[in-house]
Chain A
């Protein structure tokens, strides 16, 4: 009986499909809960920075606030402007949300805990993150509104610019690993925490994090939604759950880029000290802690920094980050080659 079940789930196509579905749910449901509570944590952190209390009315310590917000968004009326392009207007938030979710298929949560352990994991993440721009640009165009369109153009230009430097950061990491598989990337950082790539590749880690801020349109790079100039940027015309999907997608993207940062630079599921009491903690917990740390830095920067001007943003992306990261790729390659540290293939 048990053997039959195992055979069904490992060999039969329906069983395999069910297993994949279960895996997707096991990733998606905690992710959505994390997104909900990320909005809460975000507001609490900003509140603390500004010496306020933050949400504290709904539930104990305001813990039910995200669900109250979600319920409000679901119950509101979805308004589609009469001059908007109806189909694209509705599809755009779905694209934005879905691209933020499908990327999680290749993220390794622990040794072997990954839905798709593909050999081109890094490229897959890069490809999916470059798709996210479509949700925004389509939203801006379909809204048929000047504010939304300008916001979308800004956002698209910004995301395309910063993807270039993220690409070079990924290349330096994969030069050090010798593989595009994300599990291999984590395994290459095993041992003490100074083996993690954030130390040898510190400038790249900084560039990665700043580019991640720009990719997710967060402060100090939240120009697409700078209220004083563009109302609410590309989602000016959106309301209710269509807006909610953009919002969820943005937070899911933030968590995704934090997870990517944790995998590439902070040793993924590895414990910082490779000895007894620390290795008893499951890898997922370490991974979650590292993501939480990076997310805290996201909120911290949002609570602290003023907004960049648009030309400064473009200057930073193309004239500072691009040459520096390109130079660092060459430097890393040279050091690996002449220092004899080229990873064994």
Chain B
């Protein structure tokens, strides 16, 4: 228990500190790296409360895929650091507002501000019967039965987003010579080469 409490405080402190550094740090590449650290520590916190499946998915999806793309984009952009700093105070109120709204929503959902405690107690009641099996199985049982249609709809939304991204970035440039593997394999000896009898001193025309 002592080790667990210690681990919790370490992970929580690192999460909060690195989240703060995401906003404060001067270099956008550092911001993304701190964001990755924050994701990773959040995953560790999930492990501590026994939600190992969500923890692993968090690492695979956010750290392993999304943040890599962030890092890609940020590294490729040639960002002027001083220009980036100028808007900080101007956007501070808006950012703070969004932060406060998000915090209020979380507190509401947890039932600390009075309302919404029904969700929490409902989850707790559900959790009690779910704890008997490991949580990968528990999530699967709920996701593929009760929430099956919502799950499918989520998949469709992602598909539409993917098609949208492809449509936005797809452009057919003229003059690109693509490798066509089928053509290469189907080529026969007759098409590929001709045997020429070269006359002496005549050369090939």
Residues of A within 8 A of B (CB): 13, 16-17, 88, 118-120, 123-124, 126-127, 130-131, 133-134, 137-138, 141, 149, 153, 156, 160, 163, 180, 311-312, 315, 345
Is B68 an interface residue, CB under 8 A from the partner?
A: yes
- Please provide the chain B residues from 92 to 144 with a CB less than 8 Å away from any CB of chain A in the complex: 134-137
- Is B59 within 8 A of A141, CB to CB? no
- Is B179 within 8 A of A345, CB to CB? no
Complex alpha-carbon distance, A133 and B76, angstroms: 16
Chain B residues near A153: list those with CB within 8 A. Answer: 72, 76
Specify which of A130, A138, A311 is in contact with B60 (CB 8 Å cutoff): A130
- Is B63 within 8 A of A120, CB to CB? no
Specify which of A13, A17, A130 is in contact with B65 (CB 8 Å cutoff): A130
Closest to B53 in A: A120
Number of residues on chain B facing chain A (CB within 8 A): 24
Query: Knowing A130-B65, A137-B68, A156-B68 touch, does A312 contact B179 (C-beta < 8 A)?
Result: yes
Specify which of A13, A120, A126, A180 is in contact with B3 (CB 8 Å cutoff): A13
- Is A163 within 8 A of B3, CB to CB? no
- Is B136 within 8 A of A127, CB to CB? no
Complex alpha-carbon distance, A13 and B134, angstroms: 25
Closest to A142 in B: B29
- Is A133 within 8 A of B68, CB to CB? yes
- Is B179 within 8 A of A127, CB to CB? no
Closest to B43 in A: A127
- Is A120 within 8 A of B68, CB to CB? no
Closest to A124 in B: B56
Is B33 an interface residue, CB under 8 A from the partner?
A: yes
Is B71 an interface residue, CB under 8 A from the partner?
A: yes
- Is B33 within 8 A of A138, CB to CB? yes
Q: How far is the CB of B77 from chain A (nearest CB, A)?
A: 12
Complex alpha-carbon distance, A315 and B52, angstroms: 34
- Is A137 within 8 A of B71, CB to CB? yes
Query: Knowing A13-B2, A311-B179 touch, does A134 contact B72 (C-beta < 8 A)?
Result: no
Closest to B3 in A: A13
- Is A131 within 8 A of B64, CB to CB? yes
* A-B contacts, 6 listed (Cβ < 8 Å): A123-B56, A130-B65, A137-B68, A149-B75, A156-B68, A160-B65
- Is B52 within 8 A of A141, CB to CB? no
- Is A141 within 8 A of B137, CB to CB? no
- Is A131 within 8 A of B56, CB to CB? no
- Is A17 within 8 A of B56, CB to CB? no
- Is B71 within 8 A of A127, CB to CB? no
Task: Provide the main secondary structure of the chain A interface.
Answer: helix
Chain B residues near A130: list those with CB within 8 A. Answer: 59-60, 63-65
Is B57 an interface residue, CB under 8 A from the partner?
A: yes
Is B36 an interface residue, CB under 8 A from the partner?
A: yes
Specify which of A118, A127, A312 is in contact with B64 (CB 8 Å cutoff): A127
Q: How far is the CB of A17 from chain B (nearest CB, A)?
A: 7
Closest to B60 in A: A127
- Is A127 within 8 A of B59, CB to CB? yes
Complex alpha-carbon distance, A312 and B72, angstroms: 21
- Is A315 within 8 A of B179, CB to CB? yes
- Is A118 within 8 A of B68, CB to CB? no
Q: B29, B64, B134 — which one has the most chain A CB atoms within 10 A of its CB?
A: B64
Complex alpha-carbon distance, A258 and B190, angstroms: 44
Chain B, residues 63-92, CB within 8 Å of chain A (1/0): the string is 111001001100110000000000000000
- Is A119 within 8 A of B60, CB to CB? no
Closest to B57 in A: A123
Chain A residues near B134: list those with CB within 8 A. Answer: 119
- Is B71 within 8 A of A123, CB to CB? no
Query: Knowing A118-B52, A119-B136, A141-B29 touch, does A160 contact B60 (C-beta < 8 A)?
Result: no
- Is B60 within 8 A of A123, CB to CB? yes
Query: Knowing A120-B53, A123-B53, A133-B68 touch, does A141 contact B75 (C-beta < 8 A)?
Result: yes
Q: How far is the CB of A118 from chain B (nearest CB, A)?
A: 6
Chain A residues near B71: list those with CB within 8 A. Answer: 134, 137
Q: How far is the CB of A124 from chain B (nearest CB, A)?
A: 6
- Please provide the chain B residues from 5 to 61 with a CB less than 8 Å away from any CB of chain A in the complex: 29, 33, 36, 52-53, 56-57, 59-60
- Is B137 within 8 A of A345, CB to CB? yes
- Please provide the chain B residues from 161 to 201 with a CB less than 8 Å away from any CB of chain A in the complex: 179
- Is B179 within 8 A of A120, CB to CB? no
Given contacts A134-B68, A137-B68, 17 further A-B contacts (CB under 8 A): A119-B52, A120-B136, A123-B53, A123-B56, A123-B60, A126-B64, A127-B64, A133-B64, A133-B68, A134-B36, A134-B71, A137-B75, A149-B75, A163-B64, A163-B65, A311-B179, A315-B179
- Is B63 within 8 A of A17, CB to CB? no
Chain B residues near A138: list those with CB within 8 A. Answer: 33
Complex alpha-carbon distance, A180 and B60, angstroms: 15
- Is B68 within 8 A of A160, CB to CB? yes
Q: How far is the CB of B126 from chain A (nearest CB, A)?
A: 19
